[in-house]
Structure 1
């Protein structure tokens, strides 16, 4: 009998975990293992788990709400939960084509407000006059304080031709702006050869975002401009909100023979690094244009070129988004974007909330698309003057 009793106790099944509980536990474990801040915003993360599992979890929405509350306690806007449809949408956002208003957005970590990083060039939002650092207060009458970052983005997407009503605040003045959604084909590069007042041939390259096509397009632009006899280059990263980290690293390699491009630092303080190797496509003088809408991968590229003394930076201090997120898929098809590390420039400057400070600070008012890189563009003119003053602009090296 004792043996039978022991056998009965051993085979008694443990309490089954529900699918909703599984999602909550998976989310908790991912943060516990990978999140950048090992103090978890100065709270007992195990206690957060215990409290979460005390909640009634009887349907997927209850699990999702519980996970969102857990992540909200970290008080860090880039770590966020993604419902299945949001997770699928985020996975395709860098494919090169969007349907919506064409805004890159973020939550300001100090104010909690929804803020414009940059409008996509040629997008309905840019044509409507929306600018970097504008605050979006309402979307179709719904206060953005009631929306997550992904919910706000989803509300601005929609069929081409449909309209969305935004309440946008700039300098303390709210303004109602109606924007018609459209299909936005993102061609990441604009390139042309221009002649400076001194007669130098300047290759102008404007990079709009770091999508899957960006590296090949920039390389193609440099090769064509070299064939046309470019003496120097202007790389325009203004209102470039970033995109794929790998594209930023690869584009830095197009300009650098050697040197560190960026360091990544995780919560253990372990530094990863990405290096330049091989031969740059050109060694001609280079100026990089930046502004308040230059963010993330754009800041990595600008910082790499500045710290390696490959380029002078002209314009305004950049946005200051220097955190790295990784995507994690949960068992039910939902997902999470979790901040796992931060960027540092080759000289170990922390980009986050600091931005890249230009070598030459030049302010400008909002420009129309037709005014960019013309006599109406003071930042562009300053870059041209800087290149003209660079000793014989490397003509002797041609």
Structure 2
């Protein structure tokens, strides 16, 4: 729920899910679930009403931006949660580009990214695209460990409490490779995704292409109350290595490219304008940073 508006707001639809296929996007507001006002429900109650056996239906009243609300009927399905997809794309100029899409920061995400890099390296990848679009986050530790796969040294993220006291997580091991890297982001890139993108950007390890990210950067503790309810209290916030406050501001891309409406199957293809912008940057004469290196 958006703390300011009280509305149930989509962070990012899971890639390949019924919601994604129906065109529901980051920041869309869900006003009703099967005729029940979402504003009268807790987040757990809303989630329970949207879940159900595969093959059954749920109708959502959804409002996107300033558009008129519309009803969307979804057919529930089992959602595969393998967080990592990768492939090697050979470009016309001969540059082999490894494309890695990460959909969430789960417990096995770091292992999956490491395996993807090693596999693509063995295939001859000389540059990389890391796709964090519509990745709503997940485990903070996974985000930190994945940053360490790309960074030899440097701060990954700061935590700042109410007293202004800083804590930090650092890169402290040898990166898996030093090849040029572009990271794709959009409005559905949130939380741990923003921490990773900010770390790679501020340390000069990658160029960021896409849209301003979601802006979800608070650390909260949940306290149980006597009546069975809970109270979420903000105890700290995240800042990027250059002390950019992530919350509500998000990460600003180095190259702004709007995301045109495409289907799930068109992600990472010629129909994907942000992906094509990344390919153009990697194959152009513009410097694309690697781990302390530049590709000309």
TM-score (norm 1): 0.69
Deviations 1:175-213 (A, max 9, x none): 111112222120100100001232100000000000111
Does 2:106 align with 1:174? Answer: no
Match of 2:21 in 1: 127
Distance 1:297 1:390 in 2: 31
Instruction: Say yes or no: does 1:307 pair with 2:202.
Output: yes
* Displacement after TM superposition at 1:335 (Å): 5.4
Q: Which of 11, 27, 50 is the equivalent residue of 1:156? A: 50
* Aligned counterparts, 1:17-28, within 5 A: none
Q: Does 1:298 align with 2:178?
A: no
> 1:134-145 alignment to 2 at 5 Å?
134-145=28-39
Tell me how far apart the structure 1 counterparts of residues 3 and 233 of structure 2 sit (CA, whole Å).
Answer: 15
1:392 Cα deviation (Å)?
Answer: 9.3
Distance in structure 2 (CA, Å) of the matches to 1:152 and 1:295: 21
How many residues are paired up? 291
Out of 166, 175, 178, the residue aligned to residue 271 of structure 1 is: 166
- Equivalent in the alignment of 2:247: 352
Which moves more between the two structures, 319-328 or 228-237? 319-328
Which position in structure 2 is the counterpart of 1:111?
A: 5
> 1:146 maps to what in 2?
40
1:160-239 pair list within 5 angstroms: 160-170=54-64, 171-239=66-134
Distance apart, 1:215 and its partner CA: 0.5
Q: Deviations over 1:262-302 (max 9, x none)?
A: 00111121111000011000100000000000000000000
Displaced runs of 4+ in structure 1, greater than 3 A?
326-338, 390-397
Structure-1 residue corresponding to 2:275: 380
Q: CA RMSD in A?
A: 2.2
SS class of match (1:136): strand
Matches within 5 A, 1:309-324: 309-324=204-219
CA distance in 2 between partners of 1:333 and 1:225 (Å): 49
Structure 1 segments unaligned to the other structure (5+ residues): 1-106
